[in-house]
Structure 1
Amino acid sequence: MLKRILLFTAISAQIAVAQTKSKVTVTDLTRIKQVGGIELSPDGKQAVYTITTIEPNSDQKADARPEEYDYKTHIYLTSLKPGDSRALTHGAESARQAVWAPDGKRLAFVRTVKGKSQIFIMPLDGGEAWQLTNSNYGASNPLWSPDGKRIVFTGGVTMNQMLTDSLLNPDKGGPSWSLEKPGFANNDFVKVDKKIKPNPDGSLAEIRAYLAKDVEDKKAKVINRLNFQGEATTEPDITFQHLYITDVAENAKPKPLTRGFESYQAANWLPNGQGLL
């Protein structure tokens, strides 16, 4: 008999409403846990997945506002049996994008190091995870080669970085299209009363003050200019995604596979490992 295993994700909001029928507040959203990033092992007997939670920021200063939270994501391993699941990653830095090596004995995953995403390798038969990449452009979306000896990944290169990178932009020239974006010089026309205390669960004025503080703390971005080619991102600078390849070995040096003022994504290895789509 053919057995089929269905893996799926669900978002569960475990928010208890008191008998007083109190209103759901903004900070109640911190109770939501999200499951994602499910990857089945090559032999179909195990799976890895991520759980994302919203945790209080332990690094905030004593005089800071109390409503400081960070998203935390960590990787879990399950044998596909109820209750049989354990965390593979811990700590302050999130881990995500776990993918199995073809032999099913190792994982490649992404963790943030000094503000940049980097790829780590974790042996599942014991031993600590070790850092594979140390790219100035960050490294994400790891993809194992069929023989498990190499990994292709993507790096995000800003426009300013692209203009000075001799490998990705050998001619040191600019793009062939215009970068002009008309818009407001600043947001001075949006006035917030500095005397109002920021509170995400407060009045409309307090919520506006809370959002304004997020902008001031660079935790949110305000779009004040138009891009007639489409606002695909809220990032202030254009970023290009380029493909790199590296051996799965300590101190290996990645090599760029793509170049220019273009972005590349959704790479797949050919079955023989001799090329990419």
Structure 2
Amino acid sequence: MEFVQQKRGMTAEDLYKLNSVNDPQVSPCGTKAVYVQTSIHEEKHQYISNLFLTDLEKNISSQWTYGEGKNTSPRWSPDGSRLAFISDRSGKNQLFLMSASGGEAKALTKEHLSVSQPVWSPDGKKILAAISLAPDDKLDKEDRDEKKLPEPLVVEDMRYKSDAAGFVKNRKRQLAVVDVKTGKLELIGSREFDYNDGAWSPDGKSIAFTSNMTDDPDQTLISDVFILSLETNEQQQLTNSNGFFGNLSWSPDGSCLSFFGHEKEFQSATFSKIWLYKMETEELSCYSADWDVHISDAVVADFISGSVNPGLIWTEDSQGFYFILTDQGNTGVYYGSLEGQTLPVRFEQEHVYGLSVHPGSHTAVLGISSPDHPCDLYFFDFSTGENRQLTNVNDEFLQEIELAVPEAIKWNAEDGLEIHGWIMKPVGFKNGEKYPLVLEIHGGPHAMYANTYFHEFQMLASSGKAVLYTNPRGSHGYGQHFVDQVRGDYGGSDYTDLMSAVDYALETYDYIDKDRLGVTGGSYGGFMTNWIVGHTNRFKAAVTQRSISNWISFYGVSDIGYYFTEWEIGGNLIDDFDKLWQHSPLKYVTNVETPLLILHGEKDYRCPVEQAEQLYIALKRLKKETKLVRFPDANHELSRSGHPKLRIDRLNHIKNWFSEYL
């Protein structure tokens, strides 16, 4: 008798066993690709990222860098003979260079600088890179006394902290040109402003970048596109200081500069569009003005590490381009021509999170994830339709795992609007049995759940829970009007959308126990979890994560609070105090009867921990069932890129709370 191995469900700790592959880069010759593979060292609880090379003709991959640090952002030299990449092996992210034939990597930048986003010059002699500098920082050496006494932080700007970087301390993001031969750095532009999204012109004579050079950047929240002439040092502004733009790329013939962005028509809910600037006529036009879709990847997930927005990828003849598009719970690849013809070249029930295209052969390497396949890289020939899988980074481990496969659902909300979502049966599902259901709510709110792998969902499904996750109004992927409907109405129709999802699930699936319902979410999903338990007692357990509970205090303490509150809620602390309180879950805390677990990172500057503290103390003062878990040194990205052990702890707290109360 043949022995059949009994499969098990996914656990929180299985994050240690999964690998992520990302940022594929096809070589200039089109026969090879380099990519980043990330894993977690289980004993040291640290991320390890190394570069791998794959032969696209033979489907053979080999490891290129080693060690227990992070090696990321690989970029081929124009002739394909060298590879630039970023490594933290010296303690900070530095720019390294190595031969494409192998050998030891050479550091090009100094250890006191933190470098990112390398871009080769067309002649291969220089590399453009991003660095962060304070006014007194030097390029050539460390000019600080590590033993100096502490000094107060003097704040004069409204945006003085960042969830990603902490206190800015007057630092500006700069672009520097690195000489490949000597390692000498030369800044472009002025240290007075931030510079981002650097892109060389094909002739190497100019650099395009984005910046906010208005008189008062705190009050004028924009990102303009500029072109700087390296010969004359003159710069030209291409956009009108009325929107956000980025992801710059030149056509190979230099006739056109492309970028993504929008003119803030719907503030933070505005779809990203494709823009083209023609150099000869100095004409700026919106290529996708009439499209009711979001350009780029708007998917929210908790596993794939190091995703990179590839922007617009031009073809060799400068007559067309490829790009990623978000729609209806999926992302895929589209082709567009300068004549205005567009067509999908890869759009399936999946999440395309990585893209690199060889401009001459129209072949590509894609990173793809689906709910029951965490991630892998695939080769595609857009001309012939040939496609094949290049990596199998999790196949061996997944042979012992039973993954839940979601079912896509659609229903009509209270006002008749069609809403899209998914439901997962528990792992080991048996007909005739009743199961608890957990409603998951994504953050943003302008993001999208999708046909992608989500570790938290799989863990809950393996613990005997059905999982319901949806894209209520405010989500990307369903049109500009849909994504804008939540603004000024937090806790209104978005709340009834979510309740209609639960109603639909209970009416449609007889295996759900209506008396064992749970709800959880993070960021905006945490706000909505707080709102839900203050407005209904139908849920028997809730977990709120990195949440907002009080829009009044949020206004002054978040790194985005002063403008995000105005854009999303429609009011400010000075003129609209009552409106902010009306939309604050804390106002309704006396109504809460649902046991509520509160999870929050200590260094979350996006939704600061005081939001959790207020909610927790108010609930305890009222003798409600609650618990607060604070994660040291964790920011808003805890669930996605936080310390591995804390990510595991977070997942287990969620699982255990629902197991206890459901």
TM superposition score category, shorter chain reference = 0.5 to 0.7
Question: 1:240 aligned to 2:172?
Answer: yes
Partner of 1:273: 204
Residue among 23, 38, 51 paired with 1:52: 38
Distance 1:140 1:179 in 2: 26
Residue among 164, 189, 195 paired with 1:264: 195
Secondary structure of the structure 2 residue equivalent to 1:268: strand
Distance 1:76 1:89 in 2: 7
1:74-115 CA deviation, whole Å, 9 max, x = no partner?
A: 101111146401010001222110000000111000111432
Distance 2:88 2:106 in 1: 13
Would the alpha carbon gap of residues 255 and 230 (structure 1) be closer, same or farther in structure 2, given more than 3 Å must change? closer
Taking structure 1 as the reference length, what is the TM-score of the superposition?
A: 0.61
Question: 1:34 aligned to 2:20?
Answer: yes
Percent of aligned positions that are identical = 31
Q: Check conservation: 1:48, 1:75, Cα contact below 8 A.
A: yes
Secondary structure of the structure 2 residue equivalent to 1:147: coil
2:12 maps to a residue whose letter is V
User: Which structure has greater strand proportion?
Assistant: 2
Structure 1 residue 29: Cα displacement: 1.8
1:89 maps to a residue whose letter is T
Structure 2 portions without partners, runs of 5+: 140-153, 209-662
1:33 maps to a residue whose letter is N
Secondary structure of the structure 2 residue equivalent to 1:276: strand
Partner of 2:76: 100
1:23-55 CA deviation, whole Å, 9 max, x = no partner?
A: x43222222211101111111111111111111
Secondary structure of the structure 1 residue equivalent to 2:196: coil
Question: 1:85 aligned to 2:46?
Answer: no
Q: Check conservation: 2:161, 2:167, Cα contact below 8 A.
A: no
Q: Check conservation: 1:40, 1:46, Cα contact below 8 A.
A: yes
Distance 2:161 2:11 in 1: 31
Backbone CA RMSD of aligned residues: 2.7
Distance 1:88 1:107 in 2: 11
Structure 1 residue 234: Cα displacement: 4.2
Secondary structure of the structure 2 residue equivalent to 1:27: helix
Partner of 2:646: none
Would the alpha carbon gap of residues 152 and 135 (structure 1) be closer, same or farther in structure 2, given more than 3 Å must change? farther
Partner of 1:124: 100
Secondary structure of the structure 2 residue equivalent to 1:43: coil
Q: Check conservation: 1:244, 1:256, Cα contact below 8 A.
A: yes
Distance 2:19 2:53 in 1: 17
Structure 1 residue 258: Cα displacement: 3.3
Structure 1 segment 139-178 matched on structure 2, within 5 A: 139-157=115-133, 161-162=134-135, 164-165=136-137
Q: Check conservation: 1:52, 1:71, Cα contact below 8 A.
A: yes
Q: Check conservation: 2:31, 2:57, Cα contact below 8 A.
A: no
1:205-233 CA deviation, whole Å, 9 max, x = no partner?
A: xxxxxxxxxxxxxxxxxxxxxxx759752
Q: Check conservation: 2:160, 2:167, Cα contact below 8 A.
A: no
Q: Check conservation: 1:107, 1:123, Cα contact below 8 A.
A: yes
Structure 1 residue 57: Cα displacement: 4.2
Structure 1 portions without partners, runs of 5+: 1-16, 59-68, 168-177, 182-227
Would the alpha carbon gap of residues 100 and 180 (structure 1) be closer, same or farther in structure 2, given more than 3 Å must change? same
Distance 1:241 1:92 in 2: 28
Distance 1:118 1:270 in 2: 24
Distance 2:102 2:191 in 1: 41
Distance 1:93 1:50 in 2: 12
> How many residues of Structure 1 are paired with residues of Structure 2 in the alignment?
188
Would the alpha carbon gap of residues 40 and 259 (structure 1) be closer, same or farther in structure 2, given more than 3 Å must change? same
Distance 2:31 2:77 in 1: 14
Q: Kindly report structure 1 stretches of 4+ aligned residues shifted beyond 6 Å.
A: none
Q: Check conservation: 1:156, 1:242, Cα contact below 8 A.
A: yes
Q: Check conservation: 1:244, 1:258, Cα contact below 8 A.
A: no
Partner of 1:252: 183
1:100 maps to a residue whose letter is W
Secondary structure of the structure 1 residue equivalent to 2:175: strand
Structure 1 residue 254: Cα displacement: 0.6
Distance 1:267 1:253 in 2: 18
Q: Check conservation: 2:90, 2:111, Cα contact below 8 A.
A: no
Secondary structure of the structure 1 residue equivalent to 2:67: coil
Q: Which moved more, 1:94-103 or 1:29-38?
A: 29-38
Secondary structure of the structure 2 residue equivalent to 1:78: strand
Distance 1:127 1:166 in 2: 31
